[in-house]
Amino acid sequence: MKPRPRLAWIRYGGPLAEEQVELAAQRYRAVILQPWETRFAEQLKARNGDVTVLAYQCLSSIRTYEPGPVYSSGLPPAEARALDTCARRLDGSLIEWARYQGHLQQRVWDPRYRAAWVEAVVANFRDSPFDGVMADNDVFDDYYDLCPPLEGGTGLPEIRDALDRLVSAAGRALNDVDKVLVPNIAESRREEGRWRRHSRYGGGLEECWMAWGMTTGQRLDMAAVLAQVESLTAPGLTIARTPGTGHPGDPNLILALAAAWVFAPTSDVAVTATDHDGYDAAPWTELVDLDLGDPCPEGVVQLGEGVYGRRLTRGRAVINLCSERVHLDSRWGGGPLDSWRGVICSDH
């Protein structure tokens, strides 16, 4: 399959319906499911061998509410308790994530935790129909009110370093059994080389592509967006999620797809647009069926402040990331293009 921009389905919400699996096999380049949805993973692979199907696993927490025997945390809760890997505050209390009841922070800085996580995940997926694992919460900052320092004076630098070690160990071990590791690499733009280090075992997920929310104040500035382009062009599969409604034809999804054509037309990129934690939706646009061909030699063209376009052998794509509507000249299709919108046009 020739690499080009396509769509992803991040689907680790409620129970799946059989008819959704049939559609997903036709529509998506990459699918992320709950780890217990083995039967659906098998069906997806049987219907379309080119779709990459990943199992959700959390790098940094256990979830006390899951009944098992398969868990969304890499380490089963009972094993975490037996190994005493639940992190604690300076006062000795357990750390439950803010806004996520039942999620307990783990001592990712403890080598015993990392070794147990890798061993458990490899054992669970080495013979499964999943192509590998999407490892969530490869965090960069404090998103869950951990409020470090934690026990032993552990701070964010120690947590980041530990996750770097865990991703590396898990990636090597999964690759050794012909599986991929695709971490959700938070804020890679803030640390040079972070994306390439963490994505080298199969790819990476950028969960806040161009923005972290739907309001204008939650959009990244152009410097940050351009810094994210590294994630689109790195080797391996890139799943890029931008905030959106999750509804078919969502203009945010079209923007994400157009941006992938502009910045990474020959990369293995799968985009999606969902609400925050809106992972029951099935974003879709028919524009994904347009193969715009190979990029023309002129490359990315800046058409104005925050406005970028690219010509390809069978079409063109333009995005407007500035705060105002712009008017495209006839060479780029003519007409208005609203703020934070994209257009994808075929010449055929």
Lookup: tokens for 150: 């934690």
Q: Please tell me the distance from the alpha carbon of residue 309 to that of residue 208, in angstroms, as a whole number.
A: 21
**E strands of 195-250, at which residues?**
203-206, 237-243
**Dihedrals phi, psi of 153, to nearest 5 degrees:** 75, 15
Lookup: tokens for 22: 């049939």
DSSP tag of 69: S
Q: Which residues pair with 310 in a beta bridge?
A: 317
Pick the CATH number of 6-289 from 3.60.10.10, 2.40.50.140, 3.30.70.1290, 3.20.20.70: 3.20.20.70
Cβ pair 33, 53 in contact under 8 A = yes
Nearest CA to 289 among 314, 252, 321?
Answer: 314
Residue 13: predicted pLDDT? 80
Residue 210: predicted pLDDT? 97
Nearest CA to 319 among 249, 235, 236, 222?
Answer: 222
Cβ pair 316, 309 in contact under 8 A = yes
Q: Please tell me the distance from the alpha carbon of residue 195 to that of residue 203, in angstroms, as a whole number.
A: 9
Q: Where are the domains of the chain?
A: 6-289, 294-348
Residue 279: predicted pLDDT? 87
**Dihedrals phi, psi of 341, to nearest 5 degrees:** -135, 160
Q: Please tell me the distance from the alpha carbon of residue 199 to that of residue 183, in angstroms, as a whole number.
A: 7
Question: Which residue positions in the chain have pLDDT lower than 50?
Answer: none
Residue 228: predicted pLDDT? 94
Nearest CA to 201 among 98, 132, 251, 288?
Answer: 132
Q: Which amino acid would we find at residue 252? A: N
Residue 15: predicted pLDDT? 82
Cβ pair 156, 150 in contact under 8 A = no
Residue 170: predicted pLDDT? 98
Q: What is the CA radius of gyration of the chain?
A: 20
Q: Please tell me the distance from the alpha carbon of residue 310 to that of residue 308, in angstroms, as a whole number.
A: 7
Long-range contact set of residues 12-18: C-beta below 8 Å, sequence gap at least 24: 12/56, 12/72, 12/279, 13/278, 13/279, 13/280, 13/281, 14/280, 16/40
Question: How far is C-alpha 274 from the geometric centre of its chain's CA atoms?
Answer: 11
How does pLDDT run across 209-254, given as a tens digit for each residue? 999 999 999 999 999 999 999 899 999 999 999 999 999 899 999 9
Residue 4: predicted pLDDT? 97
Pairing of strands 335-337, 301-304: unpaired
Q: How far is CA 132 from CA 237, 257, 304, in A?
A: 12, 24, 41
Residue 16: predicted pLDDT? 85
Pairing of strands 326-328, 335-337: antiparallel
Lookup: tokens for 261: 């054509």
pTM value? 0.96
Nearest CA to 80 among 100, 99, 58?
Answer: 58
